[in-house]
């Protein structure tokens, strides 16, 4: 269930980012509302895309470091 909401939020953020870029191309990127929309959609989407792989990498590194103290057969 949590993965479904993660995917839904990510899709909505990417759709909002695309709409903001399209509006920015048509109306110009100097409008503060367009810049706010670009920032408000791109930063959360980018953090959602980067957080999971970084978290996984940290967990793997932590496990590899703890392997040294395991009892060998």
C-beta separation of 23 from 47 below 8 A: no
The overall pTM is greater than 0.85: no
Note the pLDDT of residue 10.
92
| Interatomic CA distance for residues 61 and 57, integer angstroms | 6
pLDDT at residue 1 in the model: 62
| Domain ranges (residues) in the chain | 2-67
**Residues of the chain where predicted confidence (pLDDT) is lower than 50:** none
Element (H, E) at 72: none
């Amino acid at each position: 269930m949590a993965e479904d909401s993660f995917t839904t939020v990510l899709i909505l953020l990417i759709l909002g980012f695309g709409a903001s870029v399209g509006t920015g191309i048509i109306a110009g990127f100097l409008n503060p509302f367009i810049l706010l929309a670009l920032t408000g959609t791109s930063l959360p989407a980018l953090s959602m895309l980067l957080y999971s792989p970084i978290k996984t990498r940290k967990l793997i590194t932590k496990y590899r470091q703890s392997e040294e103290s395991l009892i060998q057969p």
